[in-house]
Structure 1
Amino acid sequence: MAAEDLGPLLEVRHVHKSFPVSGSARVDVLKGIELTIEPGKLTMLRGRSGSGKTTLLNLLGGLDRPTEGEIVFRGSRIDEWSDKRLTVLRRKEIGFVFQSFALLPLLTAWENVELSLRMAGTPRAQWKERTDRCLELVGLAKRAHHRPFELSGGEQQRVAIAKAIAHRPALLLADEPTAELDTQMAARIIGAFRDIIGAEQIAICMTTHDSTLWEAADVVYQMADGRIVPA
């Protein structure tokens, strides 16, 4: 079945998020967000720093809960789930990529990816084939036995992406994954995302303020002052 026939993977319905600042005062960070993430699509949340992109991404991944509204993953309201159930969801269904690469410096690229499979509880018999596959998808098969300090920033980020998809998540969330990279390296990251989507029909949602990347997305949501606004 084609990805477009599966229906939404994740829906955000009238989501608000506020945080206490002092006494009874609160600051509203998200103000009535509505969006949909489809399987097999690259969705970008674009906007300036402070627009609410990272806060929204944390809600999508079950790392935080909305003050109001619904986060619906595969038809279930995950904003109502227990912390334990959300932990299982993240371990099995969601991958995360951040600006910092979070690689273990003494391990090779291959060993970093394999370690993520061990931690996810993937059967041992699948480790080698899946690790090789993930490094191939991000274009690093020939750099598999290099340690992080022997890799460029763009290569380290691609190893982090390979780690994040190793357990075959349905959704990959990436917070400004190209922010520390030059234009050429950023383009390679987006190319890796497109290859991963084509090969595995994963949904990818990333935040960015880089206008040179927007044309590569299937869907773009413009954020400003905690709202989705016309692009």
Structure 2
Amino acid sequence: MARWFRKKNASEVMVLEEEMPFDNNATPLRQLKSPLLTVRGVQRSFQVGGQKLEVLKGIEMELIPLQLVMLKGRSGSGKTTLLNLIGGLDQPNEGEIWFQEHAFHLGSDDERTLVRRKEIGFIFQSFALMPLLSAWENVELALRMAGIPRSEWKERVAHCLELVGLGKRMHHRPFELSGGEQQRVAIAKAIAHRPSLILADEPTAELDSQMGAQIMSVFRSIIATEQITICMTTHDPTILEVADHVYEMVDGKFIS
């Protein structure tokens, strides 16, 4: 698979290089201190009713490996739009988004999809589970879609569900689980293919404060055990204290 990377010179020319073979002795990227993701001068606007609506206005940010980063802001502040750009689901009108060595602002839809499938997991406010499948089958489906060999499914599914505290509920379907338990299944699903980054859009919005605190505890646990970076949106001030870094958004900009 080909990938975009930054040439090490003053002009930072973008060139396309064939991916090098994996080196088992190399230091995993997620253990390095350099940013996992960098956003530079990103702007995003949409045409609404013939008028230009500016949603993001010059965003600058970094995601450091093994941190829990929160995007705080009211509805309409631009949090979800930024999360979509970070995850390669959309592209900016201006600016740069570097995920590892991948230039999301330059790559095609297919190139970004390949990166997401391998390196990024998503958690949604509405859980996004298949209602007729058990917790086990939902996580197994995520592995199937990521192209993980079948021989690894059983061990990995069991590990992920145990990690989020659902060892005794893994064969229940979503309607048999509480909201907090459903979100735990969604987390297990998101980490199953061993991504380096998890993006979570308001993961505690549908939960009460106690369940929200438990989800935050799960996040801290998987950062430590799975070596994952998490970036999430929230408007809940009660969970901000567990974050390593908080970016506060107002009208498409970060404020100090």
TM class by shorter-chain length? over 0.9
Does 1:31 find its partner at 2:90? no
Matched, 1:80 2:106: yes
The structure number with the bigger radius of gyration is: 2
Contact 2:56–2:82 (8 Å) recurs in 1: yes
Does the alignment pair 1:120 with 2:170? no
Matched, 1:130 2:156: yes
Aligned amino acid, residue 159 of structure 1:
V
Tell whether 2:215 aligns with 1:189: yes
Aligned ranges for residues 71-110 of structure 1 at < 5 Å? 71-110=97-136
User: Which residue of structure 2 lines up, in the alignment, with residue 14 of structure 1?
Assistant: 41
Partner of 1:172: 198
Higher relative contact order, structure no. (Cα contacts within 8 Å, ≥ 6 residues apart) = 1
Residue 13 of structure 2 is matched in structure 1 by: none
Whether the 8 Å contact between 2:32 and 2:65 is mirrored in structure 1 is: no
The C-alpha deviation readout for 1:163-195, integer Å capped at 9, x for no partner, is: 011111111000000001000100111111101
C-alpha RMSD over aligned residues: 1.2
Instruction: Give the 3 Å change call, closer, same or farther, for CA 4–112 of structure 1 in structure 2.
Output: closer
Q: Secondary structure at the match of 2:238?
A: coil
Secondary structure in 2 matching 1:198: helix
Cα shift at 1:106: 1.7
Deviations 1:121-148 (A, max 9, x none): 1001100010011111111111111111
Cα distance in 1 between the residues matched to 2:100 and 2:148: 22
**Hey, what's the Cα distance between the residues in 1 that align with 2:132 and 2:103?**
40
Residue aligning to 2:19 = none
Q: 1:148 aligns with which of 150, 159, 174?
A: 174
Residues 64-113 of structure 1 show CA distances to partners (whole Å, capped at 9, x for unaligned) of: 00010000111332110011111111111110011111111221111110
Contact conserved, 1:12 with 1:70, CA < 8 A, in 2? yes
Structure 1 gap segments, 5+ residues each:
none
**Given that residues 134 and 165 in structure 1 are in contact (C-alpha distance below 8 angstroms), is that contact kept between their aligned partners in structure 2?**
yes
Runs of 4+ residues deviating >4 angstroms? 1-4
The change in CA–CA distance for 1:177 and 1:118 in structure 2 (over 3 A counts) is same
Contact 1:110 1:131 in 2 (8 A): yes
Q: Identity percentage over the alignment?
A: 66
Offset at residue 4 of structure 1 (A) = 5.9
Match of 1:58 in 2: 84
Query: What is the distance in 2 between the residues matched to 1:225 and 1:90?
Result: 28
Shift of 1:208: 0.2
- For the pair 1:157 / 2:183, whether they are aligned, the reply is yes
CA contact (8 A) 1:4 1:38 kept: no
CA distance in 2, matches of 1:149, 1:99: 16
For the 8 Å contact 2:132–2:173, the answer to whether it is kept is yes
TM-score, normalised by the number of residues in structure 2 = 0.87
Going by fraction, where is helix more abundant, 1 or 2? 1
